[in-house]
Amino acid sequence: MNNHTSKYWIEQLQLRAHPEGGYYKEVYRSSRAFTPTEIGQERNYATSIYFLIEAGNASHFHSIQQDELWYYHAGDPLSVFILSEDGALDEIKIGPYIDQGQTLQAMIPAGAIFGSKSSGEYSLVSCMVSPGFDFDDFKLYTQSELLERFTNQGKIIKELGWVQKDL
């Protein structure tokens, strides 16, 4: 692969902390917008970010109202965990080793509850959202609300679920 570290990518790409965990930088937001029926508010046609997760950090379980495409760039494979309505847990591995069941890109459907973590030191990906991402369409799930809803997925929920801190 390469000898770059997560610090290198964070500095070179000017990434900043993301509320769900990890680091990000928006690199594209379409200049045109429309009002999707499903959302009822104006959104850009598409948005794209760089997103980096380091070892020991996680993208906490969350959902957005749009489809999200993920693209592998550098580092170790990224595991994306999706909680299904029926309580099942699906894992998609986004990485360069196609012969090991990984994929260079993956789509997370609108409304899915998902979180991710790196399988090594760090994972650098891009995420493209259409209609464009807006924090009004974002929901971060706490461990307690997920444990109540998905009683059979306690291990991954305790690992990737958000723990709300008192302010």
Q: How far apart are the first and last CA of the chain?
A: 42
What pLDDT shows up at residue 167? Answer: 38
Instruction: Return the pLDDT at 166.
Output: 44
Predicted confidence (pLDDT) per residue in 68-117, tens digit: 999 999 999 999 999 998 999 999 999 999 999 999 999 999 999 999 99
**pLDDT the model gives residue 165:** 60
Dihedral angle over CA of 16, 17, 19, 25, nearest 10: 30
Per-residue pLDDT at 97: 97
Name the CATH topology of 6-160: Jelly Rolls (2.60.120)
Query: What's the pLDDT at 2?
Result: 64
Mean of per-residue pLDDT scores for the chain = 94
Beta strands, E only, 55-141: 59-64, 67-75, 78-83, 89-94, 105-108, 113-118, 122-130, 138-140
Q: Is residue 38 very low, low, confident or very high in pLDDT (cuts 50, 70, 90)?
A: confident
Q: What residue segments make up the domains of the chain, in order of their start?
A: 6-160
